[in-house]
Structure 1
Amino acid sequence: MKIVIIGGSGFVGTQLINLLSRNSDHHLLNIDKNESLEFSAITKLGDVLDKSILQSELASADIVILLAAEHKDDVSPTSLYYDVNVQGMRNTLEAMEVNNVSRIIFTSSVAIYGLDKNNPDESFPADPFNHYGKSKWQAEQVLQEWYKDHLDWNINIVRPTVIFGEGNRGNVYNLLNQIASGRFLMIGKGNNKKSMSYIGNIIAFIEFLLVEKVEGYNIYNYVDKPDFTTNDLVYHTGKVLDKKIPTVHIPYALGMLGGYGFDLLAFITRKKLNISSVRVKKFCAETQFDSTKAMNSGFVPPFAIEEGLRRMLKTEFRK
């Protein structure tokens, strides 16, 4: 099986290639605008916006795994979200059709649901609140329209929640780093639940779809259960690192006011700052999602979420 991974030089892609490469029957190719630090031998430099590269490199492919995305909170200009996430999808589908490739796994996001929803499952209406979520939803809509005229295709969409794990430097790492440092400010009461996905499980689920879900149009939320509250994360961090974690609670309104202050400072200085009103809002939001469909699909996560958290904390923060 020739598997073409588009956008595989980042954290998720690197871990996925490492997993898939253990199967000698897989022939892997990574297309990314950035060189892969671990898999340069199978990496072709190319942008998802370059149709010619996609069309030439998808020759004889059996399946495409589309990971490429603009996803950070502060991408500028915001049109990049739509160029990469939406037009990139169109370019990929057109290149697949030219090469008679009819299987795709697309990593979307639970960001399409918006914030503070009531544990949405896959049937929940989309209501994204930021450009990342809006662009991911538009990419899904491109897939929906495409499938109407390509009913023989196999399309699998994964909507993961925030992904964490050893080597990741995303939002969960930043939060755990603040907690572990002892300089942690708890905005609000800390009872808001945070759905998360451990990297070892999300890549295993993608491999499961690759092998087991070879027909039809399928959509899955991916969340590892149980959902932790922010207070739970403080507790587990202290337990794993064997240290007392002091926390100072400040009211939500005061935290948002501080976030707006950092927004103004970033605007004046033209610098990207680690704190913003958007990040405060996301920190305090209830980000809980239903993953019953994925867990009833036949997939068995290889790691409990507590084990994933323990592995990350020991690797990244134990001195």
Structure 2
Amino acid sequence: MKVAIIGGSGFVGTRLIETLKQNQGFEFLNIDKQQSSSFSAITHIADVLRKDTLVTLLKGVDVVVLLAAEHRDDVTPASLYYDVNVQGMKNTLEAMAQNEVRRIVFTSTVAVYGLNKVNPDELTPANPFNAYGKSKWQAEQVLQQWYDSHPDWNINIIRPTVIFGEGNRGNVYNLLNQIASGKFLMIGKGNNEKSMSYIGNIVAFMEFLIRERKTGYEVYNYVDKRDFTTNDLVHHTGEVLGKKIPTIHIPYTLGILGGYGFDILAWILRKKLTISSVRVKKFCAVTQFDSKKAMTTGFVPPYSIEEGLKRTLRAEFGK
């Protein structure tokens, strides 16, 4: 089975290729704007906005895994979200069709639900609050419309919650880094629960879909339960690292005002800052999601959420 991973040079793509390479029966192709530090021999430099290049590269492919996306909170101009995430999807599907490739696994996001929803499942109406979530939802709609006219295709959409793991430098790493350093400022009471996904599990689920789910159109939330509160993360970090973590709490109102202040400062400086009002809102939001559908497919996560957190903390901060 030849698998083309579009956007495979990043954190998730690299771990997915590593996982697939451990099992026989797969041939790989990585298509990305950036060279892969781990898999340069199978990497082709290309952009999802260049359909002609995709048409050439997807010859002989059996399955496409589409990871390529604009996903940071501070992408400018905002039109890039729609160029890459929506037009990139259209280009990929058209290139697949020209090569008679009829299977795709697409990583969307739980951001399509919006903030502070009560444990949404896959049937919960979409209500994205930012350009990233809106563009991913539009990409899903493109897929649904495509399937309506191509019912012989196999389309699997994964909506993962925030992904963490060894080597990642995203929002969870930044949070754990602040906690581990002892310079952590808690905005609000810290009782908001957060669904998370460990990298070792999310790529294992992708492999499961490639191997086992070969027909139909399905959408899956992906979450590793149980959900931790921010206070839980502080406690587990201190326990794993053998540290007493001091925590200063400030009210949410002050925190969000500070976030708006950083927004203004970033605008004045024309510079992207690590603190913003959007990140304060996301930090304090309840981000719980239902993943019963994924967990009733027969898939068994290889790691518990506690083991994933322990492996990450020891790899990143255990020196």
* TM-score tier (shorter): over 0.9
State the secondary structure of the residue aligned to 1:47. Answer: coil
Other-structure match for 2:283: 283
1:256 aligns with 2:256: yes
- Rounded to whole Å, the distance in 1 between the matches of 2:295 and 2:24 is 28
TM-score where L is the length of structure 2 = 0.99
Which AA in structure 2 matches 1:305? I
In the alignment, which residue of structure 2 is the partner of 1:60? 60
Give the secondary structure class of the aligned counterpart of 1:80. helix
Q: Distance in 2 between matches of 1:213 and 1:287?
A: 28
Per the alignment, residue 72 of structure 1 pairs with 72
- Distance between the aligned counterparts of 2:160 and 2:36, measured in 1? 23
C-alpha distance after superposition, 1:81-132 (max 9, x if no partner): 0000000000000000000000000000000000000000000000000000
Matches within 5 A, 1:88-127: 88-127=88-127
Offset, 1:21 = 1.4
TM-aligned CA deviation for residue 316 of structure 1: 0.3
Alignment match, 1:300: 300
Please state how far the C-alpha of 1:146 moved relative to its aligned partner: 0.4
For 1:159, the equivalent position in structure 2 comes to 159
- How high is the sequence identity, in percent, across the aligned residues? 73
Q: Secondary structure at the match of 1:297?
A: coil
The equivalences for 1:3-82 within 5 A come to: 3-82=3-82
- Give the aligned partner of residue 174 of structure 1: 174
Partners of 1:61 and 1:242 in 2: CA distance: 48
What amino acid does structure 2 have at the position aligned with 1:79?
A: S
Given residue 268 of structure 2, which amino acid in structure 1 is its aligned partner? I
SS at match of 1:174: helix
Partner of 1:271: 271
Q: Normalised by the size of structure 1, how large is the TM-score?
A: 0.99
Give 1:152 shift: 0.5
Tell me the number of residue pairs that the alignment of Structure 1 and Structure 2 aligns: 319
2:218 alignment partner AA: N
**Take 1:187 and 1:24, find their aligned partners in 2: how far apart are those partners?**
47
SS at match of 1:152: coil
Gaps of 5+ in 1: none
Aligned-partner Cα distance in 1 for 2:102–2:274:
41
How many Å separate the matches in 1 of 2:315 and 2:149?
48
What letter corresponds to residue 92 of structure 1 in structure 2? T
Q: Which runs of 4+ in 1 moved over 4 A?
A: none
Structure 2, unpaired ranges of 5+: none
Distance, in Å, in 1 between the alignment partners of 2:65 and 2:127 is 25
Q: Which amino acid aligns with 1:181?
A: S
Query: Which amino acid in structure 1 is aligned with residue 266 of structure 2?
Result: A
Give the C-alpha shift of residue 318 in structure 1. 1.2
Residue equivalent to 1:185: 185
Q: What whole-Å deviation, never above 9, does each CA across 1:36-91 have from its counterpart, x for those lacking one? A: 00000000000011111100010011110000000000001110000000000000
Alpha-carbon distance between aligned partners in 1 of 2:74 and 2:299, rounded to the nearest angstrom: 35
Aligned to 2:219: 219
Letter in 1 for 2:92: T
Per-residue CA deviations over 1:235-260 (Å, capped at 9, x if unaligned) read: 00000000100000000000001001
| Secondary structure of 1:156's aligned partner | strand
- Distance in 1 separating the partners of 2:114 and 2:86: 18
Rounded to whole Å, the distance in 1 between the matches of 2:21 and 2:293 is: 27
Letter in 2 for 1:280: V
The corresponding residue for 2:87 is 87
What is the CA distance between 1:24 and its match in structure 2? 3.2
Q: Alpha-carbon deviation of 1:23?
A: 2.6
Aligned equivalents of 2:23, 2:296: Cα separation in 1: 25
Secondary structure of the residue aligned to 2:225 is strand
RMSD, aligned CA: 0.5
